[in-house]
Structure 1
Amino acid sequence: MTVMLPQTGRPNNTITYRRRSWLLSLSGKYGGLETIAWEMANMTLFDLVEPEVTHKVPKHWHSFPPPHPLWHPVLGTLYVIIGLFALFGNGVVLWVFCCTRSLRSGTNLLVINLAFSDLCMVISQFPILVCNCFSQAWVIGPFVCELYGFCGALFGTMSIINLAVIAYDRYRAILSPFGGTQLSMRRAGLWLLLIWVYSGGWCALPFFGWNQYVLEGLLTSCTFDYLSMDTWSRSYVVVLFLASYAVPLVVVCYAYFGIVSSVSRHDRNLKSHERAQGENVRYQNLQRRESQLNRFVFTSVLAFMIASTPYAG
């Protein structure tokens, strides 16, 4: 049995088409495969977009062919698994910090804010993304697209800035352990306010005309427009790259490598003393600690870059 689909213009019912194409693609060489292959070869991602969000699709995506119908359900399933793990992990961190009074310090308040922003990222992103994946298109309207893009940018930027502030706080604490630089709750609160205002300010600018939030990729998610080549849009992308990635990365690298330099210098002095005293065990412990610290710093910087670089690029 061959199901005839529209051959010209946009499909009259894109959701029916997507369901039909997905089911027929599973039928292998049985009824309808030739028709589906012909239709898919003559359609683009843009043809599957709901009419109310067509203005949210950059021209860059207009010529891309639609993915295999199974690709969306596979991605949706992966997002469900990742989202549940993220909900559980960040939820546990918040629960432990909130229920343990001894952990309520200024520095740990930054960690709590990091877990909170990550949790908000999951809550605001993955249910909508999963819904769109299984619908195989953005089906929630243009307003939610803008809200989704803003939340993704806000909580992502917050996490990056938060990591930079944590690195700077550790740098100050280690270089001046007795200099009264331990982060107080009041100062931590000011840092949190600065993180929220700084991140929110940059991410709200598209609502005021500097760039905009649009559909991207498989057109099941939204973010700021990083593809338009006009000077106005590109300038926002460049400034946002510097403000939310390059500057925090410099701070993280400076802080952690400064910590390594300080600890290494201190350990060298201790090593010379221990070797003069013939205490080989303590000397070996110092070497082991320095090696562990170097691995920690390398891992921290690498994790920061892995988490932040894909969109920054």
Structure 2
Amino acid sequence: MANMTLFDLVEPEVTHKVPKHWHSFPPPHPLWHPVLGTLYVIIGLFALFGNGVVLWVFCCTRSLRSGTNLLVINLAFSDLCMVISQFPILVCNCFSQAWVIGPFVCELYGFCGALFGTMSIINLAVIAYDRYRAILSPFGGTQLSMRRAGLWLLLIWVYSGGWCALPFFGWNQYVLEGLLTSCTFDYLSMDTWSRSYVVVLFLASYAVPLVVVCYAYFGIVSSVSRHDRNLKSHERAQGENVRYQNLQRRESQLNRFVFTSVLAFMIASTPYAG
């Protein structure tokens, strides 16, 4: 037992799915797996309830059926699919203290995690771009139609699915990771072929969406601030202090919203991208 490694706990049918990096690690403390499993159950149930409620509200409320809200529905749907495809398998493996469902499910699990994670990130970037277009249009009338929103959703699914399916065609692969109870793409192999996929996926599914989100939200702040400065000058000239103070308050609230949105995007996406 003293010389046992994490690799020794792996089922024989999935040993080829364990990168050499993990072969020499000792097993975790016996309590670690059930603690993690319990934590995943709690998080999974909250996520199921939260995203389920969002979908139910949008689907049952006719007035909320708009192009922009269709993007929000897709975001909730991808998050719900992430939970459904990941947490039952992860919880099962945690309480079994090893991956026990075979190599095919490992690949499917890794693909679903990558797909729905990438979809959520890209979806957030599209929502930011949609808000940017709507707010910066000088004439209005730029509300996202259901048809155009449907095209955006198709692009999000195809773009995300395309990148995440590449390991099935030989560019990288889905393997076990960490405590060997979950699977993801191989980010540890040092050969150029595998590393190139990791770099390209990082750029396509994280760096580019982050640039879009930052550009869109800070563009909104810049536009609204410029508009408010003109209004402030007018209000101060007219001596309307109350409206002037309201404009200042709105600008402050908008800045906090943008900062929070970008920070939330980075907190949610950076661990996945890393």
If the TM-score is normalised by the length of the shorter chain, which range does it land in?
over 0.9
Deviation at 1:220, TM superposition (A): 0.2
Deviation at 1:311, TM superposition (A): 2.9
Deviation at 1:310, TM superposition (A): 1.2
Deviation at 1:180, TM superposition (A): 2.9
User: Structure 2 CA distance, aligned partners of 1:303 and 1:44?
Assistant: 37
Quick check: 2:117–2:272 contact (8 Å CA) kept in 1? no
Corresponding residue of 1:200: 161
Is 1:215 aligned with 2:137?
A: no
User: Structure 2 CA distance, aligned partners of 1:275 and 1:203?
Assistant: 55
1:56 to 17, 39, 42: 17
Deviation at 1:182, TM superposition (A): 1.4
Is 1:288 aligned with 2:237?
A: no
Deviations 1:169-226 (A, max 9, x none): 0000000052432110000000000000000000000000000000000000000000
Corresponding residue of 1:297: 258
Per the alignment, in what secondary structure is the counterpart of residue 176 of structure 2?
A: strand
User: Structure 1 CA distance, aligned partners of 2:138 and 2:67?
Assistant: 15
Deviations 1:234-261 (A, max 9, x none): 0000000000000000000000000000
Quick check: 2:232–2:247 contact (8 Å CA) kept in 1? yes
User: Structure 2 CA distance, aligned partners of 1:177 and 1:98?
Assistant: 31
User: Structure 1 CA distance, aligned partners of 2:138 and 2:62?
Assistant: 23
1:150 to 111, 134, 137: 111
Quick check: 2:106–2:174 contact (8 Å CA) kept in 1? yes
Give matches, 1:1-313, under 5 Å: 40-176=1-137, 178-313=139-274
User: Structure 2 CA distance, aligned partners of 1:285 and 1:71?
Assistant: 52
Deviations 1:68-104 (A, max 9, x none): 0000000000000000000000000000000000000
Query: Is there any run of 5+ residues in structure 2 with no aligned partner, and where?
Result: none
User: Structure 2 CA distance, aligned partners of 1:310 and 1:85?
Assistant: 20
Deviations 1:36-82 (A, max 9, x none): xxxx4311110100000000000000011100000000000000000
Which range is displaced more, 172-181 or 282-291?
Answer: 172-181
Which range is displaced more, 175-184 or 228-237?
Answer: 175-184
Deviations 1:255-290 (A, max 9, x none): 000000000000000001111111111111111110
TM-score by length of 2: 0.99
Q: How many residues align?
A: 274
Per the alignment, in what secondary structure is the counterpart of residue 147 of structure 1?
A: helix
Query: Compared with structure 1, are the counterparts of its residues 299 and 45 closer, same or farther at alpha carbon in structure 2 (3 Å cutoff)?
Result: same
Per the alignment, in what secondary structure is the counterpart of residue 215 of structure 1?
A: strand
Q: CA RMSD in A?
A: 0.7
Higher RCO by CA contacts (8 Å cutoff, separation 6 or greater): 2
User: Structure 2 CA distance, aligned partners of 1:150 and 1:177?
Assistant: 42
User: Structure 2 CA distance, aligned partners of 1:175 and 1:286?
Assistant: 18
Deviation at 1:149, TM superposition (A): 0.2
Deviations 1:277-307 (A, max 9, x none): 1111111111111011000000100010011
Query: Is there any run of 5+ residues in structure 1 with no aligned partner, and where?
Result: 1-39
User: Structure 2 CA distance, aligned partners of 1:193 and 1:312?
Assistant: 22
Identity fraction in percent: 100
User: Structure 2 CA distance, aligned partners of 1:150 and 1:282?
Assistant: 53
User: Structure 1 CA distance, aligned partners of 2:131 and 2:139?
Assistant: 13
User: Structure 1 CA distance, aligned partners of 2:114 and 2:93?
Assistant: 19
User: Structure 2 CA distance, aligned partners of 1:145 and 1:92?
Assistant: 29
Corresponding residue of 1:36: none
